[in-house]
């Protein structure tokens, strides 16, 4: 089992993990509205939305950083989730959300340090 999958198994109750589909440098992801609401009801804004493609390609994104793009007007109404991509460190959520620079969160040690808690 890959390291990131072990982390997901160990920390999945505390942080929301999504495996990205990668193609030509783009990482495609989705986050379900209901699941985000469940994490918020338990932890407020203090949890991570983790987008990962591999052990060496992880974006542990604090939920509070995503609030400008995780808004009602950007939800895919048919599927009740946010869809987006991360390309060259910039996160784009469909539906007209402003681009969000997430370069600083790529493979950060903060995420892996959570195992020590």
Predicted pLDDT at 104: 94
Rg of the chain over CA atoms, in angstroms? Answer: 13
Distance in angstroms (rounded) separating the CA atoms of residues 37 and 1: 29
**Residue-wise burial string across 46-63, b where 16 or more C-beta atoms lie within 10 A, e elsewhere:** ebbbbbbbeeeebbbbbb
Predicted local distance difference test score (pLDDT) of residue 72: 97
Report how far residue 112's alpha carbon sits from residue 82's, in angstroms, rounded to the nearest whole number.
25
pLDDT in single tens digits along all 117 residues of the chain:
578 888 889 899 999 999 999 888 899 999 999 999 999 999 999 999 999 988 888 999 999 999 999 999 999 999 999 999 999 999 999 999 999 999 999 976 556 666 544
Predicted local confidence at residue 23, as pLDDT: 87
Q: What is the pTM of this model?
A: 0.90
Residue 117: predicted pLDDT: 46
């Amino acid at each position: 089992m890959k390291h990131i999958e072990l982390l997901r198994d160990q920390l999945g109750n505390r942080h929301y993990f999504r495996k990205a589909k990668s193609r030509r440098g783009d990482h495609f992801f989705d986050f379900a509205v209901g699941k985000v609401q469940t994490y918020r009801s338990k932890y407020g804004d203090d949890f991570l939305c983790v987008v990962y493609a591999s052990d060496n390609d992880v974006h542990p994104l604090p939920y509070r950083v995503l609030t400008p793009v995780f808004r009602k007007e950007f939800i895919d109404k048919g599927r009740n989730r946010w869809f987006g991509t991360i390309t060259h460190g910039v996160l784009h959520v469909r539906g007209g959300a402003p681009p969000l620079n997430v370069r600083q969160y790529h493979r950060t040690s903060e995420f892996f340090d959570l195992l020590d808690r």
